[in-house]
């Protein structure tokens, strides 16, 4: 948490504000995501966020001079970087009349197929900024209660999520972005290998994993249903074995 100290009318005020995404309460997350995600940072916006987080009456804040105010801006700058939210704000959520179950923290229970579709829709959203891809992403990472992930259900799920409030949808996207970034950092070698080998082609993650690990794991369906992080570990082992084999061949 950030410890903030400032003065208004000769009175010293001490406040604590979140210093990273996982420290945000759900209400704070819902307030902030529509204001900071994919938005231009301005002094007016930073001031608005400060007023909200500091929980000081606007009438009091008006007595702050601009130098005081701008001196507090570093406390909210982190909100304008890529979200690092890895705690799922909605383990369960309603869309329409259906109940959906979200992913575990860090997306640790996502399978290969689920990640492949979610990553594809996220990439489309970044390129086109069309709301339908946000809904398709959520229709992928949330599964109807008592059901398993099925790619055939994605579009129907997305139609239901189109009626969910935007702040909740953006907060869920922030969770995907943060968890994906954590996985990218932990397995940067595999993510880099995928980009070099397959780029952003049609086969995506499923094709990449099946091509390299399929012979060791089984058919396409088995690869698709495997836990994504388990697959990343297998890929790392395959790469390590290949490097060791290459070293042995050179010594011959």
Phi, psi of 26, deg, nearest 5:
-60, -40
pLDDT confidence band for 61 (50 / 70 / 90): low
Higher pLDDT, 195 or 229: 229
Question: Residue 234 has what pLDDT?
Answer: 92
30: CB partners within 8 A, 6+ apart: 167, 168, 171
Task: Report whether pLDDT(202) > 60.
Answer: no
- For 151-194, the pLDDT digits (tens) are 999 999 999 999 999 999 999 999 999 999 999 999 999 998 88
Task: Report whether pLDDT(30) > 50.
Answer: yes
């Amino acid at each position: 948490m950030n410890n903030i100290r400032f003065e208004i009318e000769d009175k010293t005020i001490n406040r604590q504000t979140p210093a990273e995404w996982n420290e945000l309460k759900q209400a704070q997350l819902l307030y902030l995501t529509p204001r900071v995600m994919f938005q231009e940072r301005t002094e007016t916006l930073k001031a608005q966020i400060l007023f909200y987080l500091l929980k000081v009456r606007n009438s009091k804040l008006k007595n702050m001079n601009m130098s005081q105010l701008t001196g507090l801006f570093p406390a909210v700058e982190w909100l304008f970087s890529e979200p690092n939210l890895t705690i799922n704000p909605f383990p369960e959520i309603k869309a329409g009349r259906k109940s959906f179950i979200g992913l575990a923290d860090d997306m640790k229970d996502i399978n290969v197929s689920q990640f492949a579709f979610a990553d594809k829709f996220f990439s489309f959203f970044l390129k086109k900024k069309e709301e339908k891809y946000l809904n398709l992403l959520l229709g992928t990472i949330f599964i109807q209660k008592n059901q398993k992930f099925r790619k055939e259900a994605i579009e129907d799920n997305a139609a239901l999520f189109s009626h969910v409030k935007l702040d909740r949808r953006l907060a869920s996207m922030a969770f995907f972005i943060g968890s994906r970034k954590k996985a990218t950092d932990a397995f940067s070698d595999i993510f880099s290998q995928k980009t070099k080998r397959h780029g952003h082609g049609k086969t995506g993650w499923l094709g990449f994993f099946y091509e390299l690990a399929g012979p060791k794991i089984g058919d396409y369906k088995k690869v698709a249903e495997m836990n994504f992080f388990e697959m990343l570990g297998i890929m790392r082992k395959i790469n390590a074995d290949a490097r060791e084999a290459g070293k042995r061949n050179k010594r011959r």
